[in-house]
Amino acid sequence: MTQILSLDTTTAECSDPVTTRLPGLVAMEMEKFASVVADTNHHVLLLGEWGAGKDYLAKMIHSKMNRGSFVVVDCVSIPENLFASTLFGHMRGAFTGAIERQIGLAQLANDGTLFLNEIGEVPIQHQGTYLRLIEERTYRIVGGHEECHLKARIIAATNIDTKKAIAEGRFRRDLYDRLDQITFRIPPLRERRDEILDLINHFSKVENLPKPFSGEALEVMENYHWPGNIRELSNVIKKVGIDLLLHPSGELRIQPYRVKKYLERRGEENWNPPKQEYPGDTLPTFLEVSERAAKDLVREALKRTNGNVSGATRLIGMSSKTLRKYMS
């Protein structure tokens, strides 16, 4: 088992960093990336919006390294007056209130992983401290005199537009250059709509939902903008599961109203039904559009029936011969 330590823990919490594998092409690319970089000692910079899966990928890289602790530095929540003490630790009597020695997160990581989560949120006046830690791999305990060596591998993550932040003077260029040894950008969920259904099925199984979503409810979720990305999708399905327990009904499938009440609170700007665009001066024929629509329908029917042809034919009212025609 691997230790996971975060800023708000007082003792080591033992847990498997990656308890479940996500479905989809992006998740496959993340796992391939993790397998490759795990065997190197380079710093890794993960880019992506809130909830896109940066912490998931960081834990996956660490689990494939198979060494040491996974220690999270939550750069957003560290109070400025406790910044150095939290990161490097302090000696007894180092400052008022330091009644005993505290081990810092850098030391807790030992020879494992120090995950600098949302490093883009670090105030500019503190970024030099991270730069020295990364560049020289040494630090000094607050109130101490000896230099300590950082043994851990550094993985950093941020949701900011790094180029824009550098241009605006909010993020140090030299810090970015030190972190940017190996970079992976995780696309937001709205850029991978073809994975939404697989993710819904995955989280529905994780939450053990007692009934499937209706086609209309799935359409609602497919057309939503998901500003909170995978984390938001997971939370919505969790809330729907609780809602089913609190407000049971005779519905055979989960209806849109159970989903919408957890989405519409974020505003209409997050609804973004996909539109078909036809570049150039020509348009496809009606037959071509119909063929594509039929293939999409068959593919979706097979998804919902786990590849069962008989079940798919019953679901969409199509003969097995016709269905097989559009399976290619």
Measured distance CA(236)–CA(299) in Å, rounded: 25
Per-residue confidence band for 36, with pLDDT thresholds at 50, 70 and 90: very high
How many CB atoms are closer than 10 A to CB 246? 7
- Asked if residue 120 has pLDDT above 60, the reply is yes
First to last CA, the chain: 44
State residue 301's pLDDT score. Answer: 80
For the chain, what percent of residues have pLDDT higher than 70? 87
pLDDT at 279: 57
Q: Identify the DSSP state of 264.
A: G
From the list 96, 97, 78, the residue with the least C-alpha distance to 88 is 78
Helix axis angle, 215-223 to 196-206, nearest 10°: 120
pLDDT at 293: 80
* Average pLDDT of the residues in 42-54: 95
> What count of other Cβ atoms lies within 10 Å of the Cβ of residue 295?
14
Asked if the model's pLDDT at residue 10 lies above 70, the reply is no
Kindly state the average pLDDT of the residues 155-184. Answer: 95
Report the pLDDT averaged over residues 240-260.
91
Identify the pLDDT of residue 281. 63
Place of tokens 């590849």: 307
Predicted confidence (pLDDT) at residue 13 exceeds the cutoff of 50 = no
**How are beta strands 113-117 and 70-74 bridged, if at all?**
parallel
Q: Is the pLDDT of residue 82 over 90?
A: no
Alpha-carbon gap, residue 218 to 254, rounded angstroms: 9
pLDDT at 264: 58
> At residue 5, does pLDDT exceed 70?
no
- The answer, yes or no, to whether residue 72 has pLDDT greater than 50, is yes
Place of tokens 């991270």: 130
**Over residues 76-86, mean pLDDT:** 83
pLDDT at position 15:
37
Q: Which residues touch 282 (CB under 8 Å, ≥6 apart)?
A: none
Residue range 230-248: mean pLDDT, rounded: 94
Count of Cβ atoms closer than 10 Å to residue 309 Cβ: 15
Candidate from 90-99, 126-135, 192-201 with smallest mean pLDDT: 90-99
Query: Of the spans 57-61, 149-153, 271-275, which averages the highest pLDDT?
Result: 57-61
Provide mean pLDDT across the span 285-299: 78
Residues 128 and 172 sit within 8 Å (Cβ to Cβ): yes
Residue range 47-69: mean pLDDT, rounded: 93
What is the percent of the chain where pLDDT is above 90? 52
Answer positive or negative: Cα dihedral of 152, 158, 161, 165: negative
**For the chain, which domains are there?**
3-187 (3.40.50.300), 192-275 (1.10.8.60), 277-328 (1.10.10)
- Average pLDDT of every residue of the chain: 84
Q: Do 29 and 40 touch, CB atoms closer than 8 A?
A: no
Q: Is the pLDDT of residue 137 over 70?
A: yes
Average pLDDT (107-116) is: 92
Distance CA 255, CA 309 (A): 25
pLDDT of residue 236 exceeding 90, the answer is yes
How far apart are alpha carbons 112 and 106 in whole angstroms?
Answer: 10
Query: 23-49: string of b/e by CB count within 10 Å (b at 16+)?
Result: bbebbeebbebbeebbeeeebbbbbbb
**At 173, is the pLDDT very low, low, confident or very high (cuts 50, 70, 90)?**
very high
What is the pLDDT confidence band of residue 145, given thresholds at 50, 70 and 90?
Answer: confident
pLDDT of 156 reads: 97
pLDDT by residue (tens digit) across 190-203? 999 889 999 999 99
What is the pLDDT at residue 19?
Answer: 53
pLDDT band per the 50, 70, 90 thresholds, residue 2: very low
Q: What is the pLDDT of residue 306?
A: 64
